Amino acid sequence: MENFDFHVTTDIRFGKDRLDELPQVLNAFGKNVLLVYGGGSIKKSGLYDKLYEQFNRNDNNIVELAGVDPNPRIETVQQGVQLCKQNAIDVVLPVGGGSVIDCSKAIAASVFVSGDLWENFVLPKNYTGPALPIVTVLTLAATGSEMNGTCVISNMDAQIKLGVHGESLLPKVSFLDPTNTFSVNSYQTAAGSADILSHLMENYFNATPGTEVQDEIAEGLMKTVIKYLPIALEKPDDYTARANLMWASTLALNGLIGKGKKGSWSCHAMEHELSAFYDITHGVGLAMITPRWMAHILDEDTIPKFQRFAQEIWDVEEEEPKRAAEVGIQKLYEFFASCGIPMTLPEVGIQREENFEEMAQCAVAHSSISNQGFVPLHEEDVASIYRACMSESSFV
Amino acid sequence: MENFDFHVTTDIRFGKDRLDELPQVLNAFGKNVLLVYGGGSIKKSGLYDKLYEQFNRNDNNIVELAGVDPNPRIETVQQGVQLCKQNAIDVVLPVGGGSVIDCSKAIAASVFVSGDLWENFVLPKNYTGPALPIVTVLTLAATGSEMNGTCVISNMDAQIKLGVHGESLLPKVSFLDPTNTFSVNSYQTAAGSADILSHLMENYFNATPGTEVQDEIAEGLMKTVIKYLPIALEKPDDYTARANLMWASTLALNGLIGKGKKGSWSCHAMEHELSAFYDITHGVGLAMITPRWMAHILDEDTIPKFQRFAQEIWDVEEEEPKRAAEVGIQKLYEFFASCGIPMTLPEVGIQREENFEEMAQCAVAHSSISNQGFVPLHEEDVASIYRACMSESSFV
């Protein structure tokens, strides 16, 4: 196990019917609130009205930034920064999933950044400056952004999607009410869970030895997601399923699984290029890439961990190690497919391979997968994994 | 899953050779430090000298409170409070295991408590006042006190041992260096791990439905402890074993396993009376009581969870549920015994049953096990469990 710091100070308010705590939480920072949300699903679900009940009784001054896209754009960040400056915003309140929270983090920090935001905030990747306080109301179990200091921002002109980390980006308070995810449709529910599983697997398949605590917790959270995603798809208002998915999503990326390990995430680096070039749903891209990546890197050195994955997560009884590993990968693939996730690129509208070489170059250039991946990946590896996503796969 | 708050702000510095960060950490609070430690093992191990290297280069004013007992006493807390007041202490620095940290927490808070400390700090059980900042250097993987807001204090005159919880008791920073546990002897290593397992099991065997995240993480941490305790006993300086035990001990009681659940801990309530009446090692008392408690409460309602425990933790293949549950309990008992933990009360010097009825009364009176236990326990249950600890047990 590597040395690490663990200092995750977000105040989590988990459970039903806790929005009446919001005024007191906001008042710790001020009355002027930037409310950030996405496509308006919070209006349909009734959450928007419930928020305004609290704002009204609390005399808040609310400024809205609506319409944040999935894969949030640097332009939206710029727009939010302007609103903060014009309205002397005291606290940023994202109500939504990871995209809305990530966009809000970038806004909260960029208020203090001068010059070009892409150049001065995103490209350096590590932000050490201050940020406005962030309070989140989560509506999608997926990214874990509600309890970490990372945001991912896209520049569609340059076709680049990059993560920025900074201590000041950590939300001060996050409201995690599972009932706010009852109205998430099947596609987004499945894609969100694929994202959770990916966070767990990216850290689980790692070369640092002696990290049993992290690996056991990762296995437990994977099993939880695999148990409850089908239940949430079958019965979207199953509280227990939604609660376990939500808390698993938060814990999957708050440091608990990744701290104490070295190395670089492979599938996210590859998926970021898919999203940057084609703007597809992040979790769907991850679900497609992950089993092909696993099959691509399966060799003598990696088989033992994949065999453990097969046994612990998928109850594979096959004893021959390589065969067991392959069955585990197949089970993962079939699980994603059974949850309604499109498992080939043509199904999400990517019919031709023309950009794969350039995307592979970018994936390697924008990350450290070529030297710090679980298995180092070079451009030809990445392109080959993209190509494997063009048709259905079988791993056994 | 029940609603819960999770807000654990301790700054964890995990790993080897990090004491050079101590001056900066202390300076955030002030120069006057109360150094609290136990029987002097930190002098033998060399840690004491390493601390003074840092103090000297940092111009700290150090006041020492040495000789804190296991099951720390209210008298020692009073002594520490006096030292704090006389020396205008800015920060309390426990260097040791749970007893030293718990004593320090009580001191840090009691500086702000007027009148009788037992009456006004311990008996109310919930402390809402301020406390001096606490920075810990952990030397024993056991109690989890390094990342929670609870302390357990004993009054040997009154034969009472009680837990107090308060937000301000949460350590600000905790240094977790696994090498500081290399010199812990076999007995204390095993007792510490029994304490970790007990924290996990007390929360795992709980009647709140739908807490898969918590239960899966608990199982993962149990398996980690069961894997690494024998290795640490065999090879006390095995870094991986010590690191995993240490991080597991912290996570076992920082809220991750217990939040989202209702109910009361049964074995700790019973063990507290054993320690209060006979001053035995906490983890040893827990190891003795736990399997007998399990066997005592095994019935139609509880069998499914014990069967899961047997299957997941001990790989029991027996399919008949009650029989599987019993084999799991037997395996736990044998594991503790195989690690050198005395498993009967006579082995720790308790030869007669004379106090059991009174202890059972106290266990029920000082806790809520009679109405909030996993299975409610009354005085006759508790006395029966104590009696079962008088001789060796077999559960199959």
Give pLDDT tens digits for B22-77: 999 999 999 999 999 999 899 999 999 999 999 999 999 999 999 999 889 999 99
Query: Are both B373 and B305 inside the same structural domain?
Result: yes
In this structure, is residue A395 part of a structural domain? no
B contact test, residue of A216, A251, A256, A312 with most B CBs within 10 A: A216
Instruction: With respect to residue B6, please indicate whether it lies within any of the assigned structural domains.
Output: no
What residues have CB less than 8 Å from B119, skipping those under 6 apart? none
Task: Report pLDDT digits (tens) over B375-386.
Answer: 999 999 999 999
Contact (Cβ atoms closer than 8 angstroms) between residue A61 and residue A33: yes
| pLDDT at residue B12 in the model | 98
- Answer whether B233's CB lies under 8 Å from B343's CB: no
Task: Please identify, among B146, B181, B216, the residue that sits at the C-terminal boundary of a domain.
Answer: B181
Q: What is the pLDDT of residue A279?
A: 87
Rg of chain A taking only CA atoms, in angstroms:
20
Say yes or no for a CB contact (<8 Å) between A210 and B1. Answer: no
Mutation pick from B174, B197, B216 vs chain A, by most beta carbons of A within 10 Å, is B216
Residues 6+ apart with CB under 8 A from B392: B343, B344
| 3-class DSSP assignment, residue A263 | coil
Q: Are B117 and B143 in contact (CB under 8 A)?
A: no
Q: Looking up tokens 């509506």, which residue turns up?
A: A139
CA distances from B205 to B148, B169, B214, B255, B343 (A): 21, 27, 11, 15, 21
Q: How far is CA A219 from CA A25, A203, B48, B268, in A?
A: 34, 11, 39, 29
Residue of A nearest to B12 (CA): A6
B395 found inside a domain: no
Tell me whether residues B15 and A7 touch, CB distance under 8 A: no
- Cβ neighbours of residue A308 under 8 Å, at least 6 residues apart? none
What CATH number has the domain bearing residue B64? 3.40.50.1970
Q: Is residue A129 within 8 Å of residue A113, measured between CB atoms?
A: yes
From A140, A243, A178, A173, select the one nearest A23 (Cα to Cα): A173
Q: What percent of chain B has pLDDT over 70?
A: 100
B102-119 pLDDT, tens digit each: 999 999 999 999 999 999
| pLDDT, tens digit, 9 for 90 and up, residues B253-289 | 999 999 999 999 999 999 999 988 998 999 999 999 9
Number of structural domains, chain B?
2
From CA A354, how far away is CA A38, in angstroms rounded? 32
Per-residue pLDDT tens over the stretch B206-258: 999 999 999 999 999 999 999 999 999 999 999 999 999 999 999 999 999 99
Q: Share the mean pLDDT of chain B.
A: 97
Find the angle CA(B86)-CA(B90)-CA(B92) to the nearest 5 degrees: 90
- At which residue do the structure tokens 């987004």 appear? A188
- pLDDT tops 90 at residue A62: yes
Query: What is the predicted pLDDT for the residue at B274?
Result: 93
Q: How confident is the model at residue A307 (pLDDT cuts 50, 70, 90)?
A: very high
pLDDT on residue A341:
98
pLDDT band at A155 (very low <50, low <70, confident <90, very high): very high
Instruction: Find the farthest-apart pair of alpha carbons in chain B and give their distance in angstroms, rounded.
Output: 66
End-to-end CA distance of chain A, in Å?
A: 33
pLDDT in tens, B130-175: 999 999 999 999 999 999 999 999 998 888 889 999 999 999 999 9
Cβ contact, residue pair B217, A219, below 8 Å? no
Pair B262, B126 in one domain: no
Q: What is the mean pLDDT of residues A126-142?
A: 98
Residues of B in contact with A211 (CB under 8 A): 244
Q: DSSP letter at A127?
A: -
Whether A91 and A33 have beta carbons less than 8 Å apart is answered as: yes
Is A6 contained in some domain?
no
Same domain, B93 and B114: yes
Which band of pLDDT confidence, cut at 50, 70 and 90, is reported for residue A82? very high
The reply to whether A154 and A265 lie within a common domain is: no
Residues B175, B191 share a domain = no
A-chain residues near B16 (CB < 8 A) = 3
Q: Nearest C-alpha of chain B: how many angstroms from A346?
A: 35
Domain identity same for B344 and B370: yes
Distances B116 to A79, B78, B226 between C-alpha atoms, Å: 59, 9, 43
Residue A192 lies in a domain: yes
Do B78 and B117 form a contact (C-beta atoms < 8 A)?
A: yes
CB contact under 8 A, B8 and A3: no
| Distance from C-alpha of A162 to C-alpha of A165, rounded to nearest angstrom | 10
User: What is the structure's pLDDT at B71?
Assistant: 87
Q: Do B224 and A210 touch (CB under 8 A)?
A: no
A1: chain B residues, CB-CB within 8 Å: 15, 239-240, 243-244, 247
User: How far is it, in rounded angstroms, from Cα A193 to Cα A179?
Assistant: 16
State whether B8 and A6 contact (CB < 8 Å).
Answer: no
Q: Does the CA dihedral B164-B165-B170-B175 come out positive or negative?
A: positive
- φ, ψ for residue B52 (rounded to 5)? -65, -30
Q: What is the CATH number of the domain that holds A315?
A: 1.20.1090.10
User: How many residues are given for chain A?
Assistant: 396
CA B360 – CA B117 distance, rounded (Å): 26
pLDDT tens sequence across A174-200: 999 999 999 999 999 999 999 999 999
What is the arrangement of strands in the sheet containing A11-14, beginning at the earlier edge strand? A61-65, A32-36, A91-96, A135-138, A173-176, A11-14, B4-6
The answer on A369 and A243 residing in a single domain is yes
Question: By the 8 A CB rule, do B282 and B192 touch?
Answer: no
Percent of chain A with pLDDT over 70: 100
Phi/psi for A62 (5° steps) reads -105, 130
Give the distance from CA A232 to its chain's centroid: 19
Residues A295 and A321 in one domain: yes
Q: What are A's interface residues with B at a Cβ cutoff of 8 A? A: 1-16, 18, 209-213, 216-217, 219-221, 223-224, 227-228, 239-240, 243-244, 247-248, 251, 256, 259-260
Query: Which domain, by its residues, includes A292?
Result: 186-388
- Tell me if B355 is assigned to some domain: yes
Say yes or no: B138 and B36 in one domain. yes
Q: CA angle, corner A149, sides to A148 and A152, nearest 5?
A: 100
Rg from Cα positions in chain B: 20
| Alpha carbons A85 and A277: distance in angstroms, whole number | 32
Residue located via tokens 């977790």? B176
pLDDT of residue B49: 98
Residue with tokens 């070079």: A378
pLDDT at B158: 87
Choosing from A143, A159, A181, the residue where a domain stops is: A181
Q: Answer whether A235's CB lies under 8 Å from A132's CB.
A: no
Residue type, A247: W
Beta bridge partners of A164: A151
Quickly count: other Cβ atoms within 10 Å of residue A396's Cβ.
12
Claim to verify: residue B127 and residue B231 sit in the same structural domain: no
Binning pLDDT at 50, 70 and 90, where does residue A159 land? confident
Three-state DSSP at B289 gives helix
Indicate whether B324 and B360 sit together in one domain. yes
Which uninterrupted H or E stretch holds B285? Answer: helix B282-297
Residue B334 dihedral angles phi and psi, to the nearest 5° = -70, -35
Last residue of a domain, one of A147, A181, A215: A181
Predicted pLDDT of residue A156 = 87
Distance between CA atoms of residues A6 and A27, nearest Å: 28
In a domain? residue B1: no
* DSSP class of B182: T
User: In angstroms, what CA-CA distances link A43 with A40, A83, A180, A359, A396?
Assistant: 5, 21, 12, 37, 46
Q: Which of A4, A13, A220 has its CB closest to that of B220?
A: A220
Q: How many A×B Cβ pairs under 8 Å?
A: 121
Mean pLDDT calculated for residue range A301-325: 97
B250 plus B162 within the same structural domain: no
**What is the rounded CA–CA span in Å between residue B157 and residue B142?**
26
Other Cβ atoms less than 10 A from the Cβ of A168: the count is: 17
Angstrom distances, CA of residue B305 to CA of A202, A209, B297, B354, B396: 31, 32, 12, 34, 17
Are the C-beta atoms of B338 and B189 separated by less than 8 Å?
A: no
Calpha distance B375→A232 (Å, rounded): 31
Contact A285, A274 (CB under 8 A): yes
Q: Check: CB of residue A83 under 8 Å from CB of residue A34.
A: yes
Q: Is the confidence at residue B95, as pLDDT, over 90?
A: yes
Closest in B5, B209, B251 to A213, CB measured: B251
For residue B218, is it within any domain? yes
